[in-house]
Amino acid sequence: IQDVNYGQYSIHLDITDKSYREELTTWPHDVEVFDQLHFKLATDTSGSDLELFAERCWATPTSSSTDKLQYDLIRNDCSVGGDLEVVTNDAGLMTFNFAAFKFLGDDYPDVY
């Protein structure tokens, strides 16, 4: 038997250093293709029974999250983005990393 409860939580996604402890705050954050990027998805609420379900995480070549060109990294809490590695997923904290990539073509110099 699994007991399911619902509530409202504040969550945030940060790009971090490789230890997942320090948020990187300089923008734009320039990296080279294949550099490892580290992310932390966390809630402001702690609880040993709290788990995050990352329904979808994607990248676009523009700052619009609804851009028609999208590359899925996570879909239905599963990695679909090539080398994406989920490091931690428990107690309201999910950490993951993947290699930086570029959209093909000169028209797409950025990834969001």
Determine the Cα–Cα distance for residues 35 and 16; give it in Å rounded to an integer. Answer: 13
More confident residue, 2 or 82: 82
Residues 6+ apart with CB under 8 A from 62: 110, 112
Supply the mean pLDDT for the chain.
Answer: 87
| Strand ranges, E, within 26-70 | 36-43, 56-59
Give 2's pLDDT tier (boundaries 50, 70, 90).
low
Tell me what pLDDT residue 3 has: 64
The pLDDT of residue 1 is above 60: no
**For the whole prediction, is pTM greater than 0.85?**
no
What number is the average pLDDT over the span 98-105? 93
More confident residue, 11 or 16: 16
- Phi, psi of 99, deg, nearest 5: -80, 140
pLDDT digits (tens, 9 = 90+) for 29-48: 888 999 999 999 988 776 66
Looking at the DSSP bridge assignments, the partners of residue 99 are: 36
Share of the chain above pLDDT 70, in %: 91
